[in-house]
Structure formats: C-alpha cells, structure tokens
Amino acid sequence: MASNVIARAGANIAFIKYWGNRPGADNLPLNLSISMTLFACVTTTAAALLDENASGDEIRLDGAPPGEKSAGRICLFLDRVRRIAGRKERARVTSQNSFPTGCGIASSASGFAALAVAASAAYGIRADAAELSRIARLGSGSAARSVPGGFVELHPGSAHEESFAEPIAPETHWPELCDLIALVSREEKPVSSAEGHRLARTSEALAGRLAAIPDRAGRVRQGILRRDLALLGEAAEEDALSMHAVMLTSRPPLIYWSAGTLEAMRAVYGLRKRGIEAYFTIDAGPNVHVLTRKKDAVRVADEIAREVGCEVLTDHAGPGARIV
C-alpha cells in the first residue's frame, strides 16, 4: 500500500449562497458564491492507495462505515480523481469531523475539500490551488470554497475548467468577525442539497434571485474588504432569505426551517433593535448562523441559547485545506 496522506479542511459559511446547478455531474453552480472558511469545524481525512487487486474502496467516517448513499457518493468522487490521475487502484479513506456527526453542520464542504487534497496527493496528481478547488467541487459545490482559507469566492462557469474558488482576503484579515452556530436541530435534512440544486430550476423566484446577485455580491465583497459588518450582514441576511424563497417556491417546495429557526431569527432581530450588531444566515437546514463581532459574541450566543433553548457553537475564519 502506498503511503498515507492526511489532509485537513474547514467547513465554510456562505454569505452569498450557491443554490441551483447546471444539469450534469460536475456541480456547476448557476451563480457565484462567497463564503468564509471556518477554523474550528474541520474534517481530517487520510487517503492511501490499496493493492491493485483490491476490489473496492474502503471508507470509514467517524470510525464507522458510511451509509449506502454517502459511500456511493464518495466512491463516485474517487472514480473522478482516478480518471484525472489515469490510475486504477482503489483507496482506503478514513475521515474524522471535529464537530459531532449528525449535529446538523454540513460536513460535505470540509469533507470533500479534505478528501480532494488527500486523494489528489495519494494518486500523484500535481494540482495547484485552483485545480484542487475544481476537484473538490466534483464532490460538493460548496467544497470548492473550502480549499482556499479566509474569505473566498467561487466562480460559477459553464464548464469544469471555469468553476473554481479564489481567495478575496486571507484568514487573518478580519479577526473580529465571528460565526455563531445555533444548533436548532440535530436531525438529518429530509432532502439533500444535491436534490435541492436540481429543484431550484423549478422555482419562479430563481430568475429574480439570479438577477439580484451581482449587486448583492458587490456589497458582500465591500463589506469584507472594509470589515463593515452592517454592509456584509445585511447583504448576507438578504441572500439567505432569497435562497429560502427559491426553496419555498420549488416544485415540490422545500421547507428546511423549524420553529427554532424562526425563534433564532427573531432573537437576532431583537438584538439588532437594541443596537447589537448581529445578522443571520441559514443553509439547507434548520440551523442558524449568526455573524457578529468577537466583543459581542458571548452575549449574542447566551441570548440565542436562552431564547431558542439550543447549543451555540462559536467559530471564525480559518485556513484553507492542507496536508498535515
């Protein structure tokens, strides 16, 4: 067996969300997206090539074999990596999340970014950061954004070569910015984001969302570069609501929120009314991310935990995917 390559990548939180993709297997997003790679929510993945006569990939996630769906998705991804490398050997993949499995934090971004880096190295692919981001995208669109660290933009593109993520600002750019994660529910989401990306095209709200994104992305970029939380936060909140409007108007509709989601959103509005800068954003699930300043983080986390009755994790900008 070839030597073991171990890589680590952070999850990320999108300020401009990727929702909706082009038909095909390459996860080509319909719109640009912008995110912050996280520091504490990370996946560490080891990849090693098996002997030529091994009949299948051996996969363990958090100490156990994955369910059929996850296993299939990972094997398909490894097939893509093997095709790029021009090799046939199967691989052993062992992966561990720093956050509790099934706690509602999407692990596909950190998971496929770490796997892209580990597997590319194990198969001897010489890839720069842009190419690693393209490869990670084949596993999960948002994983492309976990390859660079800090503040990141993913270009949509109409072909594989065109769609990859690039840094906007490094992880050290805005140490004051915190992402508080209100764990409203620990249940697995009923509809995967892969299915949601396909359904987006059935929504009458999609065209309006796509038309609004260039202006909103401009505000997000400026908010990041100027470290202006109000500018970033208002645009990020707007974008999350716009994405959920697409979900709600898809056919069939997708409703990811729970009662706790609305309670957390109201708690954020309440904090803002009292002059505390906090803004929410929500992915394809009920959990609520709250952007706030480090100096307000304890107060904001306590208030949300009390009002919603849930655990709140604290995170901030972290480095890109790397071999450890």
Number of residues that bind ligand PMV (CB under 6 A): 16
Task: Tell me how far, at minimum, the Cβ of 282 lies from ligand PMV, in Å.
Answer: 8
Interacting stretch for ligand PMV, rule CB under 6 A, among 42-50, 52-60, 135-143, 168-176?
A: 135-143
Does residue 108 interact with ligand PMV by CB under 6 A? yes
For position 57 contacting ligand PMV by CB under 6 A, the verdict is: no
- Least CB distance from residue 271 to ligand PMV, whole Å? 24
Question: Is residue 135 part of the contact set for ligand PMV (CB under 6 A)?
Answer: no
Question: SS3 of 321, please?
Answer: coil
Q: Phi and psi dihedrals of 187, rounded to 5? A: -75, 150
Backbone dihedral angles phi then psi of residue 194, each to the nearest 5 degrees: -60, -45
Residue 17 binds to ligand PMV (criterion: CB under 6 A)? yes
Choose between 141 and 148: whose C-beta lies nearer to ligand PMV. Answer: 141
Interface with ligand PMV (CB under 6 A), residue from 7, 28, 31, 33: 33
**Closer Cβ to ligand PMV, 140 or 292, answer by number:** 140
Q: Is the peptide bond before 29 cis (omega within 30 degrees of 0)?
A: no
Q: What is the DSSP letter of 219?
A: H
Paired with 6 in beta bridges are 46
Q: What minimum distance in Å lies between the beta carbon of 143 and ligand PMV?
A: 6
- Which CB atom, from 85 or from 181, has the smaller least distance to ligand PMV? 181
Beta strands in the chain (DSSP E): 5-16, 33-49, 58-61, 91-97, 151-154, 165-169, 177-183, 278-282, 288-293, 311-315, 322-323
Nearest alpha carbon to residue 278 among 261, 295, 262:
295
- Provide the token pair at 65: 């074999």
- Contact residues: ligand PMV, CB under 6 A: 14, 17-19, 33, 106, 108-109, 140-142, 193-194, 197, 283-284
